[in-house]
Structure 1
């Protein structure tokens, strides 16, 4: 069983990527009450599902026929793959593209008991029901036809992957920059508030202590200059924040819309603001 050529394996991979996209997009669209093109890529493909399906087929070869072991092997293998993928993506892109933190029996938000069990049942469904009809579809294809289809899909898949990775890296850098700017804005606003309070106090002293009028006047001038410099800094930071937010192109907003449950441990508040901006952009 499952003795295929490299191009047949690749074709199976793309088929299962598409099936995974259909499952995920349908589920999220029904919950959101509008269509969601789910996934990291813009193509209707979810590589995690394709990789998981191929891994399930490989792992279940030695135990095929034993439903319990097929279930356990598939559940364990797919869960390890999901954890590793989630861990690497968060380190690279500063975001969790799926997050099970609030699900019971989760491990660092990358996997949880419910999805792991679902992977086990999907393995049974895959090996016992789904894969055989797909074999009947793929195996009769001639070598030339199969390779042609695989190469065409692969070219588009690689281009989309490269662009999506670049955009996700850009988005991660934007999240980091906006978070730093936000912290600086808060600090400058606090300094301005303190200067205003200090200025008010000095004005009061100026009225009552006429003997030190010149000294107070100089201090007042210094405070005004400081406040002016801080105001300029505040304006500069605000403009930079607006520029970074507007830098989100259609495709970067698409990443946020395709992953509505995405989260970020380091930049959670900023990510929330960008999601809101993405929704406003879509409505406009």
Structure 2
């Protein structure tokens, strides 16, 4: 049952990637009340499920026939794969493409007890029910046909993976840049507020001194000139800050405008995605995507 050639293993991998996509897309679509092309790739393939299925098959070989051990090994193996994949993707792309932080008994949001148990039952279903007819079909395919299928699907798969990886990296950079822009915008706005308050206080102090010390028209004129100079200097500084604020706002709007490509891309395919480092920016991007969709 498990003595397959390299191209048969690859074909099984792609088949289970597709089956995983059906399971995930159906589940998320039902919860979202609209169709969701679930996954990291644009293709109807979920590599995590394909890799998980291969691991399940390998781990169940030594304990074949013992349903409890098949369940246990499948649960542990698939959960380990899910954790490592989730951890690596968050470090690389600055985002969690699935997050179980709100689920009980979760481990850093990458895995949770409910899903791990589901992996165990899925291993039983896979090894005892699903894999047998697929094995019968694949083993009866002509060698040439099997290799051609693997090459064609493999080329499309790799091309999509490269494109999706670039898209995810770009999205991570946008989140990081928008977070920095938000910090700069807040800082400039605070500086403008402080400058206005400081200018008002200085002018008030000068006018108070004028009332107390003015004994002649000459003194009043000097105070008026001092007040005018203070207001002018503050106005110039405020003008520079306002220009900086406008420049930052325009940059942020241009950056946000790039999200049109993500509206039907990674954000749409991963509605539960989260970001520990750039959570606020991600929420803003998701809100923008919703507004863009409605408009």
TM-score after normalising by structure 2: 0.93
Partner SS, residue 187 of structure 2: helix
The one of 252, 265, 284 aligned to 1:273: 284
Partner SS, residue 13 of structure 2: helix
Tell me how far apart the structure 2 counterparts of residues 155 and 101 of structure 1 sit (CA, whole Å). 35
1:259 aligns with 2:270: yes
Asked if 2 retains the 8 angstrom alpha-carbon contact of 1:98 and 1:259, the reply is yes
Q: CA RMSD in A?
A: 1.2
Residues 106-150 of structure 1, C-alpha deviations (whole Å, 9 max, x = no match): 110000100000000000000001000101221110001001111
Give 5+ residue unaligned stretches, structure 2.
211-218
Give 5+ residue unaligned stretches, structure 1.
none
Q: 1:252 to 1:172 in 2, by over 3 A?
A: farther
Tell me how far apart the structure 2 counterparts of residues 281 and 2 of structure 1 sit (CA, whole Å). 49
Asked if 2 retains the 8 angstrom alpha-carbon contact of 1:168 and 1:252, the reply is no
The residue correspondences of 1:61-210 to structure 2 (distance < 5 A) are: 61-210=61-210
Residues 219-277 of structure 1, C-alpha deviations (whole Å, 9 max, x = no match): 22221111111101100110110111112342465100100000000100110010111
The count of residues paired between Structure 1 and Structure 2 equals: 284
Partner SS, residue 172 of structure 2: helix
Name the counterpart of 1:58: 58
Residues 18-69 of structure 1, C-alpha deviations (whole Å, 9 max, x = no match): 0000000000000000000000000000000000000000011000000010
Task: Please identify, of 147-156 and 251-260, the stretch whose mean Cα deviation from structure 2 is larger.
Answer: 251-260
Tell me how far apart the structure 1 counterparts of residues 209 and 137 of structure 2 sit (CA, whole Å). 95
Asked if 2 retains the 8 angstrom alpha-carbon contact of 1:74 and 1:120, the reply is yes
Name the counterpart of 1:49: 49
Name the counterpart of 1:38: 38
Task: Please identify, of 200-209 and 219-228, the stretch whose mean Cα deviation from structure 2 is larger.
Answer: 200-209
Tell me how far apart the structure 1 counterparts of residues 64 and 291 of structure 2 sit (CA, whole Å). 51
Name the counterpart of 2:18: 18
Higher-Rg structure is 2
Q: 1:251 to 1:192 in 2, by over 3 A?
A: closer
TM-score after normalising by structure 1: 0.97
The one of 227, 231, 234 aligned to 1:223: 234
Offset at residue 76 of structure 1 (A): 0.4
Residues 76-116 of structure 1, C-alpha deviations (whole Å, 9 max, x = no match): 00000000000000000000000001110111000010000
Provide runs of 4+ in structure 1 moved above 6 Å. none
Task: Please identify, of 132-141 and 90-99, the stretch whose mean Cα deviation from structure 2 is larger.
Answer: 132-141
Partner SS, residue 44 of structure 2: coil
Asked if 2 retains the 8 angstrom alpha-carbon contact of 1:167 and 1:252, the reply is no
